Amino acid sequence: MTRTLRLLFTVHAIATLAAASVLVVAPAAIPTTVGIVIAPSASLLCYLLAAAELSIGIVSWGARNLTDTKALRLVAASFVVFHGASAFLELWAFVNGLSARIVANVVLRVVAVTLFAYYRNRPMLVTMP
């Protein structure tokens, strides 16, 4: 695997695992940044999102050591779908009145989609030792 792809998986894993941790420890913290108020009785929604982020973080961390091109392409494609769908839904929420602060997260997701799509489509994902 190229060094830059390994770095991308590493940074992605750390970011998603950090988000999962925050969503578990302080469920309302992330939604509050974009003006969403989460009542304590609705914390389950944050916990479920944390579970998804945790899973994605673990897959990203594990992908750092993959050598199979098909597996790497599948992981990258999954991240493109996850972040692409999330960006679309965040934009949908913005259009329907969510704070403009969500746009920063949309931009980060578009960057993630672009990077993972780039590596997913590269002819040479795995470098020879």
Q: Reduced to 3 states, what is the DSSP secondary structure of residue 95?
A: helix
Give Cβ neighbours of residue 105 (< 8 Å, ≥ 6 apart): 34, 90
Instruction: Give the type of residue at 100.
Output: A
User: Is residue 125 very low, low, confident or very high in pLDDT (cuts 50, 70, 90)?
Assistant: confident
> Tell me, what's the pLDDT at 124?
75
Candidates 62, 64, 60; CA nearest to 4 is: 64
Distance (Å, rounded) from C-alpha 26 to C-alpha 68? 37
> Tell me, what's the pLDDT at 126?
65
Average pLDDT over residues 45-64: 97
Q: pLDDT tens, 69-114?
A: 999 999 999 999 999 999 999 999 999 999 999 999 999 999 999 9
Kindly state the helix (H) or strand (E) to which residue 55 belongs, with its residue range.
helix 43-63
Angle 13-18-24 from CA coordinates, rounded to 5°? 130
So where are the chain's domains?
3-121
- Mean pLDDT in the chain? 94
Residues in the chain: 129
> Tell me, what's the pLDDT at 123?
81
